[in-house]
Structure 1
Amino acid sequence: MSKESLAHPLSVRLAFPFIRAALKLLLLFLGPLRTSGRQRVPREGALLIIANHLSYLDPPAVQLASPRLIHFMAGIELFERGDRITQFVKWWRAFPVKRGASDRRALAHALMLLKAGECVCLFPEGNLSEDGQLLPLQPGWFMLARKTGARVIAARVDGTQYVVPPGIEKFQKGKGPVTVKWSEPITIPEGDEQEIAQAMEAWAIEQLSPR
């Protein structure tokens, strides 16, 4: 695939300001969005965002908090619904991943996107956390960053679990605020792979764990 075919289509880029405005209005109604560290997000170049996963509202919250268009790994069930949500995630160039397992096809697609200089977000827990605590992290994100040299930034999300609780698709008015806090971006250092992997897992856990 060419870089042009992997990038968000022109229709998404043109619609993005309007979608951002609509998301802002929605979150203003449900509970305000508070963002910390937005200036840390690199505006260009390959970027891998890792985020904790509390709610179906997490991807819109992270996208709204980011200055860049993001390609999201989305649960394969969203692609199987056959409704407007399916149409939207496909139009936005999201790509499916099987929850709770290492999905090689999804990782390969993310690898292509990062090599093309795109911005990719994944939720390394692999599933929604039902109690707000961080679940064990799957190592796929480390492999992607190691192979592509992409910078990595963590987005710690909080409050979405009250606005759209796990297992519920209805919005709960006035349950905010929703917060997204960005870490400093990092690059995976050189060295012994096992030692670096352990250090990066510790870093990710520290950045994504609830405060």
Structure 2
Amino acid sequence: MSKESLDHPLSVRLAFPFIRAALKAFLLFLGPLRTTGRKHVPREGSLLIIANHLSYLDPPAVQLASPRLIHFMAGIELFERGDRITQFVRWWRAFPVKRGASDRRALAHALMLLKAGECVCLFPEGNLSEDGQLMPLQPGWFMLARKTGARVVAARVDGTQYVVPPGIEKFQKGKGPVTVQWSEPITIPEGDEQEIAQAMEAWAIEQLSPR
């Protein structure tokens, strides 16, 4: 598969500034978006973003807080709705993943994107947290970063669970603010894989846990 076929379509890239402005205005209507650490997000090269998952609003919030276009790993149910949301996630070049399980096809696609120098975001909890606490992290993100050498940044999201609570698709006006806090980028070091995996899991938990 060519780099061009993996990249966001020209229509997305041209529309991105307008979509960003629309998202920003929409979130301001619901509650302000506050971003810290945006300077830490690399503007070029392979990048893996890991984020905690509180709400269906998390992907738009992370995209709005990011300086670059992101390929999101999205729940397969969004691709099965057959409505405008399905059309949008396909147009944005999101790709489906089966929630709550290790999806080899989704991981293979993410691997291909990262090797092509793209930016990928996944939610390693694998599902929405109903109580706002960080759930156990699935190890797929570590495998992707180790195999590709991609830099990793963590995006800790908060407030989206009040604007669009888990299991509810209706927006709750004035329930913000929504915050996205970026970590400094890291790369997976060389060494014993088990020891490094444990250290990286501890790092991810520290970065993504609620404050």
Using the size of structure 2 for normalisation, the TM-score is 1.00
Q: Map 1:1-211 to 2 at 5 A.
A: 1-211=1-211
Using the size of structure 1 for normalisation, the TM-score is 1.00
State the percentage of identical aligned residues. Answer: 95
**Structure 2: distance between partners of 1:166 and 1:15:** 29
Q: Could you report, residue by residue, the CA deviation over 1:84-111 in whole angstroms, capped at 9, with x for unpaired residues?
A: 0000000000000000000000000000
Q: Could you report, residue by residue, the CA deviation over 1:122-153 in whole angstroms, capped at 9, with x for unpaired residues?
A: 00000000000000000000000000000000
Q: How far has the Cα of 1:193 moved from its partner? A: 0.2
**Structure 2: distance between partners of 1:67 and 1:108:** 25
Q: Could you report, residue by residue, the CA deviation over 1:8-51 in whole angstroms, capped at 9, with x for unpaired residues?
A: 01000000000000000000000000000001100000000000
**Structure 2: distance between partners of 1:86 and 1:5:** 19
**Structure 2: distance between partners of 1:104 and 1:82:** 24
The runs of 5 or more residues in structure 1 that have no matched partner are none
Q: Could you report, residue by residue, the CA deviation over 1:166-207 in whole angstroms, capped at 9, with x for unpaired residues?
A: 000000000000000000000000000000000000000000
Q: How far has the Cα of 1:52 moved from its partner? A: 0.0
SS in structure 1 at match of 2:199: helix
Aligned residues: 211
The runs of 5 or more residues in structure 2 that have no matched partner are none
**Structure 2: distance between partners of 1:97 and 1:41:** 24
What do you get for the CA RMSD once the two structures are aligned?
0.2
